[in-house]
Amino acid sequence: MKITYLINQYPKISHSFIRREILALEALGLPITRFSIRSCVEQVVDEADKKELEKTRVILGVGRLGLIFNLLATAISRPLAFWSMLFLACRIGWKSEKGILYHLAYLAEACVLLRWLSKWDVTHIHSHFGTNATTVAMFCYGLGGPSYSFTVHGPEEFDKVEAIALPEKIKRAAFVVTISSYSRSQLYRWCEFRDWGKIHIIHCGVDDAFFSLPRQPISEEPCFVCVGRLSEQKGQFLLIKAASKLIAQGHKFKVILVGDGDLRKPIEAAITQENLEDVVEITGWATQAQVQNYILQSRAMVLPSFAEGLPVVMMESLALGRPVISTYVAGIPELVIPGKSGWLVPAGSVEGLVEAMKTALETPVSQLEEMGNFGAKLVAQQHNIMKEAQQLIQLFESVH
């Protein structure tokens, strides 16, 4: 059994959970070849990701001429399969947000992948996210390549189900993985009942870098940390508004925003407008070790997201014994249990966020640590990457 992982951009700073999954599979004796459609060398900052970059082959590295050559070579050597996939590319491309030309490019990428995989006797492809990488895997399979599976995370896949031909991908896949009961229910909505049996929950996981750390007590210093891309769906603007209201009520604390993104400048402007320069700090992208340190400085992780799958940083925070403040969104309530491992507020509610942060500030450290310990046990039970990788191997074996 030889497995290939195909990702749109790998290794990417926000995809540490994929790296952990691959390394766990290899630790269990399953070698993995890595393919990325696009290069992301400029986005790699973590040493672990730099090592993964050296093991990853980039499909678009062949250039335009390489794409055209492989497309024509496949059309000549496998005419029936090629025309079938060309028709499929046009059919789903017509209804997609990207259009037919993009899907013709995906078909060419699949031809490159097919040639590479045939040399290495790869027996199965696994992709993360149900978007373009899974499209390439599906075309490669249709051209006569190995079977494929993919992991759906959400929320993006659920926002554009028909535009990315998600039902078609599920129908042709050997199996489909998803990360929570909520996301499985959304896939049930969009695929035929007869395909429900091929949908399985494999959680994203945390590794020994979090589990093996000696438990560090929560500091009396009032500090919140929010880890994630600076974007609309993460809700950082609401966090700034909530912080402003809490300051006006006389509370003293610090908020650390760990991450970067397109909204950094508007968020910085909002911080200035609310006179919170001494309260809110933006760190930019951070390594895994730096993220750990920021989490350990905090009384609680705050994730006021509007749309999520099931955030990995939430698992990391709980594994380190820090409670989480978040929203009733997607799979989050499956991990954050109000009053036991954190607090949940209605998505978009500044008032709810203010009350939850105020409660966290006023809760004795001893009680916060009890909540953190409860959350750590929950993560160890449900999100240990080695246990999840073992389940994934069983699924790979079921294909062969």
Those residues whose C-beta lies under 8 Å from the C-beta of residue 244, and which sit 6 or more positions away, are: 274, 275, 276
User: How far is 362 from 364, CA to CA, in rounded Å?
Assistant: 6
Q: Does the N-terminal peptide bond of residue 364 adopt cis geometry, omega within 30 degrees of 0?
A: no
Compute the CA torsion angle 210, 215, 221, 227 (nearest 10 deg): 10
pLDDT for 104 equals: 97
358, two tokens = 């105020």
User: How far is 300 from 400, CA to CA, in rounded Å?
Assistant: 45
User: How far is 395 from 150, CA to CA, in rounded Å?
Assistant: 11
User: How far is 399 from 381, CA to CA, in rounded Å?
Assistant: 27
User: What single-letter DSSP state applies at residue 304?
Assistant: -
User: How far is 181 from 165, CA to CA, in rounded Å?
Assistant: 22
pLDDT for 84 equals: 98
Those residues whose C-beta lies under 8 Å from the C-beta of residue 136, and which sit 6 or more positions away, are: 6, 37, 59, 106, 109, 110, 113, 127
Place of tokens 């970059």: 53
Cβ atoms of 26 and 2 within 8 Å: the answer is no
pLDDT for 65 equals: 97
Cβ atoms of 393 and 25 within 8 Å: the answer is yes
Domains of the chain: 3-205+384-399 (3.40.50.2000), 209-382 (3.40.50.2000)
70, two tokens = 């492989």
User: How far is 294 from 283, CA to CA, in rounded Å?
Assistant: 10
Walking along the chain (400 residues) 10 residues at a time, the average pLDDT comes out as 95 88 97 93 76 94 96 97 98 91 97 94 96 98 98 93 95 98 96 96 91 88 95 95 97 96 95 97 91 95 94 95 97 96 97 98 96 95 96 94
Cβ atoms of 9 and 36 within 8 Å: the answer is yes
User: What single-letter DSSP state applies at residue 334?
Assistant: G
Q: If residue 50 lies in a helix (H) or strand (E), which one and from where to where?
A: helix 47-54
Does the predicted model carry a pTM greater than 0.85? yes
pLDDT for 210 equals: 84
